[in-house]
Amino acid sequence: MTFDLETVVDEEMPDGSFPPWPRHKPVAGAFLTASRSDGRYAFSLDTFICHDGQEAQFLRSTDALFPPGSMAVTLNGRGFDAQVLRLQAQRQGLYDLRNIARIADAGRYDVTHLDLLDAYGGRGSSLAELCGALSIPVKTSTSGGDVGDLWRRGDVKAIAEYVQEDVLASYLVYLHTIAWRQGDERLIALPLADLATWLESEPGLQHLLPFATCRPALWARSRAPYLRAVAARAGAELRLRKEQDEAAFAAR
């Protein structure tokens, strides 16, 4: 589960700096779920808007998206997104949101929560810089600094599309990360090829099509058929050896 929040504050800092995170309240969240079955990847994208008075509903809906055993993926989520969720839950008196608690309390090396900021060496990197280096689309429609003004103008659609873009960008960075860690190109080529196909099949996600045609996606789509063929052949050979072993055992 890759997720990202967009937040606002009641009062901006006089010097224009980023306000301390406890002052932030979420107004939107996007959550990309990726699951694998029989070598194929399936995806769903949930986007929640949090209007005044809907904080409890927003938090409960968010908590329900993280079943036990799932892994959360963020960029700076350990230091911001997960902490904002935890503090807002405490403000609402919602102490039973165990999935948010599990993610917010996860340590740096806990597989419950992978913060990409840690994976790339800490605060010297950002989503925009990482995506720029990896040819991943990012910040194509707006930027985080515009969210406050968009919210006050009531442009919820722009905020929703922006947070969705950040989630897709974060997921592509994650795929680079995990493939590199494991030394296995299948961990990026196969899910990214399936993601591109899924995006093209979803009429409501046409604004995310650049993620299906960016350089990493085109590379993944060119590699995936070969990698699937190799995997299918290896599976067939394994089944044949098993059948031969069983036949030899039965003949004894």
pLDDT confidence tier of residue 58, bands split at 50, 70 and 90: very high
For residues 169-188, give the mean pLDDT. Answer: 97
pLDDT in tens, 64-84: 999 888 999 999 999 999 999
Contact 220, 193 (CB under 8 A): yes
Rg over alpha carbons for the chain, rounded to the nearest Å, is 21
How many residues in the chain?
252
Element (H, E) at 160: helix 156-182
Q: How far apart are CA 4 and CA 164, in angstroms?
A: 8
Structure confidence at residue 3 (pLDDT): 98
Which pTM value belongs to this model?
A: 0.92
Question: Which amino acid, 226?
Answer: Y
Residue 249 has pLDDT above 90, yes or no: no
Q: How far apart are CA 96 and CA 146, in angstroms?
A: 33
Q: Which residues contact 54 (CB under 8 A, 6 or more apart)?
A: none
pLDDT confidence tier of residue 203, bands split at 50, 70 and 90: very high
> 75: closest CA among 117, 137, 33, 113?
117
Residue 212 to residues 71, 193, 221: CA-CA distances in angstroms? 24, 8, 9
pLDDT in tens, 113-134: 999 999 888 777 899 999 999 9
